[in-house]
Structures are given as C-alpha cells and as structure tokens.
C-alpha cells in the first residue's frame, strides 16, 4: 500500500508539473505607467457629483469630458466595465473560465478585432477617435490609481477597445445572438427558402419583454400648454453590462448632453441636449441571413457557389480558458469563412451567416453626432449614417418637431424569397452587398395627430390611424414586425383619446398599470372563467379571484398575483390571437398551488408578491410584465420567499419638456442610484423609494443647479 501511495503521489506531482508547464498563464507584460500618466496629463476634467451622486463632467474640450466620464464611471462601476472591455477583446474566458469561451469564439468568428483595426483610422473622424481615446486614457489613469481592483493583463485600454465594444454589442440588439445560438441546436431549426414565394413576409415574435421599452413624444399642437414633451423609458436589466448609468456632459466646444449610458460607452446613448432629445426602443427587423452550404464530398473545406467548388478561408480560434488559480488552457477551434461571411459547421449542416453591420465601426460616431446635433436637420444627418444598425427612435426638439423612425441598416435583398427562412448558399446573387437608403425606412415626421409612440410594436401603429404609415409601402424583404404589445396598444389608446395632453397626463400614461381590454391576458382570463372545472374547489376559488380582477397591477390589487402568475406561463410578449403556450387550466392550477404554498391564500396583495429589492431596501412595487410600468422577474413561478423580485423593466426614465417659449425642463429617476456596485455608498439605493413611488426628480441642467447640494467637486487629469 505504501508503494502504491508513493507511486500515486509521484504521478500526481508529475501531472501538476506538466500542467504547470503547459498551462500556466504567462505573466502579463508590465504596464507602461509613464506613458499612461503622460497621456492623462493632456486632459483636465471637472467632475461635480450632484446631491444624488450623479456625475456631471465639465471640460474645455470634448476629449476632456470623455476622459472625465471614464474616470467617474470607473469609480462607480469598474467591475462591470472591465469584463465588457475584456469581452470585446475576445479574452473573457481567460478570466471567467469555460462559460465565457463562447463569447470569445464569437468575437473571433465575427472578426470584431480585425474589422476595427482595418477601419478605425479610415472610417472614424478625428473627433470621434479623440473621444474614444480620451475615454480609454481616463480608464487607464483611474486604474493606475486603483491597482487592487484591476485584473492582470487588462491595461492599457485603447480607443480600438472602446469601438470594438460597440461593434460587438450592436448586432445583438437586433437578435444576431439568437440566430447564432439556433445553429448550435441538435437539429436544423428552419426550412430553406426556394424562391418565388407567395408569402415572402413571415410574421415574427415580438421583442423579448426584458429588452422592451416605451417612448413617446407630444407636439405643441397636442399638448395642453403648447409644450413639446418626450418620454425616454428604455427597459433594461437592473444590473450588468447593459444597465443604465446617468450622466451630464458639458464642454466649452459645445457638447452639452444628459441621459443614460452603458458601461464602456463614452457618451449619452439616449437622452437630450439643450435643443433636442431622443429615446430608443428595441425593434426586430430581419438583419441577419443564414445560408445552407453544399460541401464538396471529396473536400470538406470547399463549398459550391455558382456551380464551382470554392475554398473556405480558414483560421483557428485560440481560446485561453481559465481552469483554476493561475492555470489556464488554450483550446483550439476551427474558424471558417465563405463569400457570405462567417461559417459554422454542424452535424445537421454547414451554415454561413451574413449580418447587417458586419463591416460597420461607426456606431459610436453616430451617437456622438446625435449628442452634438442642434436641429432636426443635423440630427437626421446623423441618423442617415445608419451606423447604428437597429433600434426604433422617437425624437422631439425645442422647435416643436416630433418624429418616429424605424431605424435599421436594411440590406438590399432579392424579392421573392422568405428571408426569414434559410437561404440556398450556392447562389452568389443572394449574397447582398448594399443597404437600403435612409429614405426607404419607415419615418413619421410631425404627423397631424401631434404625437408618436412606440413600445416594441409594429411601426405601422405609431400614431392616430389616420396618420399611420402603410405596410404596403415597404418591401417584404425588410422583415418588419407587425405585432402589437400590450404596452403599445395601451399607450396608443390613451394618447388617441386625449386631445389635450398635459405634463401630468404624460407621466400618468407612462406609469399606466393596466392590461388593454383586447390583450392576450384578458383573453386568457376570459377563457379560464368560461371553463367548467368539475367542482374542483381550488380552481373554482381561483376563478372567483380572477372574476374580480380589473386587470390592473396596483400594489393593493388582490387578483393581480394570480392573474399575472398564470399569464406569464402562457403568454409571450405579444398582442395577437395565437394559441397560448400552455394549457390554461394547468397554468391556473400551478399558480394557485404556488400562492397557497407561500401565502396561504389565492389573493395576496400584489405588493406582497411584486418587490423592488436592492441591498437592505425591499419595497412593494406596482406594474408587471408588458405593463407600461414594466417590471419583469425573469421567472414563471414565485421564488423561495413566495415573491417576484424585479430584475428588468423600467429602469432609467427621463421626462423632457420644452415649453412654449423653448425653455428646457428635464426630470429623471433611476431604479437604484448612481453607485451601481458599491453597497456601502449612500447612492447605492437612494433613488429606489422615488422609483417605486413613480416620482421623478428635477435633473440639474445648469452648473449652478448641479452645485446646489453637490456632494463632491474635483478635477482629474493633469493639464
């Protein structure tokens, strides 16, 4: 036994030695601190944190402001920004382990870094490069002062890293991740379009409710007092890499903007400046195509195109994956590209992917121009870049203009094919190379109705029906969704029926708590109430609870818990008459049993169930799934405490107004506070009470307003 143990121990030592030799993560190169500090010395930014800790950055140049924004955001959210940066480099698995390897593979398959390197100097203006490089310099300078929070090998951050973050994230806004994921299913997921189709347009599901949003604008002609109003209400996860962070930006060169940004973004993504504002919602145009390739039976690295066998371009994805401690391993995976684009080889076929924006790096520049625009004409010129490849956008300005744009970088495709099916990969005429002009996109500018709105619904329902766009005016190859959401239906009903909309009305509609009378939720409940439940006592009592429901989601409501809990098992985020995704009776039974197990009754108040939680803050909250006051728990059953705890939905909200004289007023609220990760900060959850109460605070726009009650005022940089 001793001999066996001795040999075993020797083998173990040998194995560890070999593993260390082969897999020890090499020490990162030493950071050139002198270069980083020299770069930081070229900037000077003043950061004033207002009474809620929100940073307002001031500088002589736009680059100064970008430098200061990076510093302030790093103070509050470095632990989110850092992995965002690493992911854009395709190196996340080196730090996060195996679960992050698919992201690194996608970065290499889509050639994110190569595209940025090739186009960074040629496609981006010097002004745009200056702000992304200043932002990178600000991150680097802050990191040098906080070495204990920085992972080895991360510094230095570069302007190309910032741009790569945009290039990686932008296609996922319109669902490229879902297209890629389906190729890795066990079986092929779609048929191949054969052309000459009579049904070239295929109805698609609505946007994921956790990626939904609301936005609407009211023109002076529709407002009670001649004001122009804009509601900015994106629905995002409460935390993570696409959670909103509130900022104010002011430079002597004329960059003055306020609103929300994401970790790793050096500007306002939605918000306003002194003259205009905009709000985004997710849309779902068909911007990615999958081709089924025919492979040469005698050479697996060839595919047929126009009757000839073509060689794949080949490469190798070297994925360094952390195992434990300092140990990692490099896994190699095949990379292939065809004339169509990236290629994925699977047991059920070999597929090529072509997606809108595969050659686009200017998204950050377009947002920068939107930040700097001072009129509809300048803002429209920024949108004409179409470098932001998707997103509905609602617009309003000081002059009283309002607009709704179904923004998309839309490919020019051959008619007669159902482009939502797979495409035959052997025809080069199906490989699109151009994009539709801006004028081909759905756009409503100053409709006679005096309002525009979108809540992830079809662009053909955006205002009064008399002013709506006509679906027949747009090619079926665009793949534009034609569904409604409850939020879209409810919002339009409210606006259409109010000929004179006040500031109070605007917020009341934004925080509306009800399901529309023709919504799937109402249809589901009606079906349940019509059922003969064979004297099943539990279900009969459940019917009685639902019979009393007014389809509101206020915290005092005693039917909402059972109604919502049943509905989320049966209804996707859509507003149509398709069959439910459940057996309604079984969904009702499971929901009733869930409530009885946790609450001992079928009708607890909705506020007992629906909760807003942040650290020690634990509050009842109104609203629910696909409600204009949107709250999503990401679940279909109660948690172990018998509650829904919100994880997404209403997050950062702005209400922007220019009165009849053009005077700007802006109000906002964040779901938690400016200190996104620091649980010890007074601003970790200091906005939660007002958020739950559906109350907005005056956003301090002028510097004198920012200084009133400011908690900190400091300068960063060395100039």
Supply the angle between the helices 159-173 and 112-123 in degrees, to the nearest 10. Answer: 110
The lowest-confidence range among 15-29, 315-329, 339-353, 625-639 is: 15-29
> What is the spatial distance between Cα 352 and Cα 186, in angstroms, rounded to a whole number?
17
pLDDT of residue 109: 96
> What is the spatial distance between Cα 370 and Cα 495, in angstroms, rounded to a whole number?
27
Question: In sequence order, what are the residues at sequence separation of 6 or more whose Cβ sits closer than 8 angstroms to the Cβ of residue 38?
Answer: none
What pTM was estimated for this model as a whole?
Answer: 0.93
Kindly state the average pLDDT of the residues 190-211.
Answer: 49
Question: In sequence order, what are the residues at sequence separation of 6 or more whose Cβ sits closer than 8 angstroms to the Cβ of residue 308?
Answer: none
Q: Is 423 helix (H, G, I), strand (E, B) or coil?
A: strand
How does the average pLDDT of the chain come out, rounded?
A: 92
Tokens representing 718 are: 């060395």
Tokens representing 85 are: 């940066």
Question: Under a CB-based contact definition with an 8 Å cutoff, are residues 162 and 67 in contact?
Answer: no
pLDDT of 568 strictly over 80 = yes
CA 595 from chain center: how many Å? 32
Q: What percent of the chain is predicted at pLDDT more than 70?
A: 93
pLDDT of 202 strictly over 60 = no
pLDDT of 577 strictly over 90 = no
Tokens representing 631 are: 């709250």
Question: Under a CB-based contact definition with an 8 Å cutoff, are residues 94 and 103 in contact?
Answer: no
The total number of residues shown for the chain amounts to 719
pLDDT of 7 strictly over 60 = no
Query: How open is the CA angle 627-394-499, to the nearest 5 degrees?
Result: 70
Residue 203 confidence class, pLDDT cut points 50, 70, 90: very low
- What is each CA distance from 240 to 86, 207, 244, 669, in whole angstroms? 14, 20, 9, 18
> What is the spatial distance between Cα 319 and Cα 310, in angstroms, rounded to a whole number?
28
CA proximity to 365, closest of 391, 383, 377: 383
Neighbouring CB atoms inside 10 A of 148's CB total 4
- Per-residue model confidence as pLDDT tens digits over 65-123: 999 999 999 999 999 999 999 999 999 999 999 999 999 999 999 999 999 999 999 99
Q: Is 480 helix (H, G, I), strand (E, B) or coil?
A: coil
> What is the spatial distance between Cα 405 and Cα 469, in angstroms, rounded to a whole number?
11
> What is the spatial distance between Cα 273 and Cα 706, in angstroms, rounded to a whole number?
16
Element (H, E) at 173: helix 159-173
Question: Under a CB-based contact definition with an 8 Å cutoff, are residues 632 and 209 in contact?
Answer: yes
- What is each CA distance from 671 to 18, 183, 404, 536, in whole angstroms? 50, 36, 26, 42
Question: Under a CB-based contact definition with an 8 Å cutoff, are residues 82 and 154 in contact?
Answer: yes
Tokens representing 548 are: 């009393």
Residue 27 confidence class, pLDDT cut points 50, 70, 90: low
Neighbouring CB atoms inside 10 A of 388's CB total 26
pLDDT of 667 strictly over 80 = yes
**636: left (phi > 0), else alpha (psi -120 to 50), else beta?**
alpha
pLDDT of residue 30: 67
End-to-end CA distance of the chain: 72
Kindly state the average pLDDT of the residues 618-628.
Answer: 97
pLDDT of residue 719: 67
> What is the spatial distance between Cα 637 and Cα 561, in angstroms, rounded to a whole number?
11
pLDDT of residue 194: 74
- Per-residue model confidence as pLDDT tens digits over 312-353: 999 999 888 887 777 778 889 999 999 999 999 999 999 999
């Amino acid at each position: 036994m001793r001999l066996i143990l001795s040999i075993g121990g020797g083998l173990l030592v040998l194995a560890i030695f070999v593993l260390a030799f082969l897999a020890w993560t090499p020490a990162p190169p030493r950071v050139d601190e002198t270069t980083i500090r020299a770069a930081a010395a070229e900037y000077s930014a003043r950061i004033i944190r207002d009474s809620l800790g929100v940073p307002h950055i001031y500088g002589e140049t736009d680059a100064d402001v970008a430098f200061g924004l990076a510093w302030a955001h790093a103070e509050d959210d470095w632990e989110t920004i850092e992995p965002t940066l690493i992911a854009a480099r395709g190196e996340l698995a080196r730090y996060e382990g195996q679960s992050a390897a698919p992201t690194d593979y996608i970065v290499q398959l889509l050639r994110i870094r190569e595209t940025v390197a090739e186009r960074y100097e040629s496609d981006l203006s010097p002004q745009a490069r200056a702000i992304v490089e200043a932002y990178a310099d600000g991150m680097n300078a802050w990191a040098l002062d906080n070495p204990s929070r920085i992972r080895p090998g991360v510094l230095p951050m570069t302007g190309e890293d910032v741009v790569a973050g945009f290039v990686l994230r932008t296609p996922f806004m319109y669902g490229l991740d879902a297209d890629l994921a389906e190729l890795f299913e066990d079986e092929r997921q779609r048929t191949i379009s054969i052309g000459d189709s009579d049904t070239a347009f295929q109805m698609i599901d609505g946007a994921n409710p956790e990626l939904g949003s609301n936005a609407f604008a009211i023109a002076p002609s529709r407002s009670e007092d001649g004001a122009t109003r804009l509601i900015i209400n994106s629905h995002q996860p409460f935390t993570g890499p696409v959670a909103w962070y509130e900022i104010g930006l002011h430079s002597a060169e004329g960059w003055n903007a306020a609103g929300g940004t994401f970790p790793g973004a050096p500007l306002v993504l939605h918000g306003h400046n002194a003259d205009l504002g905009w709000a985004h919602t997710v849309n779902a145009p068909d911007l990615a195509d999958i081709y089924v390739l025919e492979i040469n039976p005698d050479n697996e690295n060839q595919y047929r195109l126009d009757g000839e066998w073509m060689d794949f371009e080949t490469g190798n994805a070297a994925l360094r994956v952390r195992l434990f401690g300092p140990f990692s391993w490099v896994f190699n995976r095949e990379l292939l590209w065809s004339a169509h684009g990236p290629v994925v080889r699977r047991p059920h076929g070999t597929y090529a992917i072509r997606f809108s924006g595969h050659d686009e790096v200017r998204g950050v520049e377009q947002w920068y121009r939107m930040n700097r625009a001072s009129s509809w004409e300048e803002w429209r010129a920024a949108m004409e870049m179409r470098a932001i490849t998707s997103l509905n956008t609602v617009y309003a300005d000081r002059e009283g203009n309002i607009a709704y744009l179904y923004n998309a970088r839309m490919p020019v495709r051959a008619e007669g094919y159902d482009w939502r099916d797979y495409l035959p990969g052997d025809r080069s005429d199906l490989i699109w190379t151009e994009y539709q002009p801006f004028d081909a996109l759905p756009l409503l500018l100053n409709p006679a109705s005096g309002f525009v709105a979108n809540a992830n619904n079809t662009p053909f329902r955006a205002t009064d029906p008399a002013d709506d766009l006509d679906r027949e005016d747009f090619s079926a190859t665009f793949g534009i969704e034609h569904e409604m959401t409850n939020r879209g239906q409810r919002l339009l009903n409210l606006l259409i029926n109010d000929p004179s909309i006040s500031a109070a009305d605007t917020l009341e509609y934004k925080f509306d708590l009800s399901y529309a009378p023709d919504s799937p939720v109402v249809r589901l409940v009606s079906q349940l109430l019509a059922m003969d439940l064979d004297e099943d006592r539990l279900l009969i009592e459940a019917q009685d609870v639902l019979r009393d429901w007014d389809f509101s989601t206020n915290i005092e409501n005693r039917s909402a818990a059972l109604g919502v809990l049943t509905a989320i098992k049966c209804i996707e985020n859509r507003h149509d008459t398709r069959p439910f995704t459940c057996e309604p009776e079984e969904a009702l039974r499971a929901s009733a049993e869930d409530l009885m197990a946790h609450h001992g009754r079928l009708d607890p108040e909705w506020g007992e169930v629906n909760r807003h939680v942040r650290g020690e803050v634990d509050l009842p909250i109104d609203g629910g799934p696909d409600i204009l006051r949107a709250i999503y728990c990401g679940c279909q059953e109660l948690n172990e405490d018998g509650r829904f705890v919100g994880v997404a939905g209403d997050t950062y909200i702005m209400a922007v107004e220019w009165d009849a004289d053009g005077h700007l007023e802006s109000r906002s609220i964040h779901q938690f506070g400016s200190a996104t990760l620091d649980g010890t900060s007074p601003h970790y959850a200091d906005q939660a009470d007002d958020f739950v109460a559906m109350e907005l605070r005056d956003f301090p726009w002028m510097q004198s307003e920012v200084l009133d009650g400011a908690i900190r005022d400091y300068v960063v940089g060395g100039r």
